[in-house]
Amino acid sequence: MAADVIRLFVGWDEREEVGSHVFLSSLMHTCSLPVSVTHLRKSQVAALYGTEIREGTNAFTWSRFLVPAMCDFTGFALFVDGADMMAVGDLAELWHMASPLTAVQVVKHNYQTRHPRKYVGTGMESVNSHYDRKNWASVMLMYCGHRAWRRVTPEWLETANPLDVLQLRFLEDRQIGDLPDNANVLIDEGQEVEQPILVHWTAGVPGFPMYADAPMAQEWRDQLKRVNHAID
């Protein structure tokens, strides 16, 4: 069983900084356990290992897979994209699902995206490619002590096939466990789940003008107001 302090790693990209603050605020208002948060800022992870981390569609595309190494291959850790998410349920429920029987636990989405492009109208705009196992790696509950993680280093990531990494193909199928659908609800892909824990805007958060009318946009803006609230 995982310890009662959640060891959380959150993606960090300065272009989505406001989304990161909204996510962390939502987490503090919904989580029943203490949370130790580490931001995966690309330059800091690179400095930690003394090497560059390859580029991806965002600044933490590849550094997420180094979380077990950053934890000295011990214990459990939870990675979430974060910047395009909001916590609406208790993350402790997810944390207590941690199991040493697999290397990682994920929501095994199987869908065709509604959005041919993502981050439209921003400097991050790009094609929203469809591929098998899309968004499996956006929430990962990792058993860092599993032997399968030992190979994953910055040097290995530099030469590994990018799509194979995102699809977790470097793991055997039996090493990938399940999380319930409410652990990573793709809200802008039409997914509806009872009692969600994390909601995820995969194409762009409501803070981007083109996504101001996205599902649950008002809830996101309400959370932003909490972040910006000044104490009287």
Domain count, the chain: 1
Residue 192 lies in a domain: yes
Identify the pLDDT of residue 43: 72
Q: Which residues contact 63 (CB under 8 A, 6 or more apart)?
A: 11, 40, 42, 45, 53
3-state helix vs strand vs coil in the chain, percent to 5: 35, 20, 45
175, 150 in Cβ contact below 8 A? Answer: no
Domain span holding position 126: 6-228
Identify the pLDDT of residue 13: 79
Helices (H), the chain: 17-30, 42-49, 67-70, 91-95, 154-159, 162-166, 217-228
- Write the DSSP symbol of residue 230: P
Identify the pLDDT of residue 231: 56
Residue 220 lies in a domain: yes
Predicted confidence (pLDDT) per residue in 152-163, tens digit: 988 888 888 888
- Shortest CA distance to 221 belongs to which of 25, 9, 12, 28? 25
Cα-only R_g, the chain: 17
Element (H, E) at 127: strand 126-127
Residue 1 lies in a domain: no
Residue 136 lies in a domain: yes
39, 12 in Cβ contact below 8 A? Answer: yes
Residue 156 lies in a domain: yes
Q: Which residues contact 2 (CB under 8 A, 6 or more apart)?
A: 75, 76, 95, 96, 98
CATH number, domain at 26? 3.90.550.10
Residue 170 lies in a domain: yes
Helices (H), 17-128: 17-30, 42-49, 67-70, 91-95
Residue 78 lies in a domain: yes
CA distance 80 to 139: 5
Identify the pLDDT of residue 232: 47
Residue 141 lies in a domain: yes
Ranges of the chain with pLDDT below 70: 1-3, 46-59, 230-232
Identify the pLDDT of residue 56: 60
Identify the pLDDT of residue 163: 87
Identify the pLDDT of residue 228: 84
Predicted confidence (pLDDT) per residue in 56-112, tens digit: 656 577 888 999 999 999 999 999 999 999 999 999 999 999 999 999 999 999 999
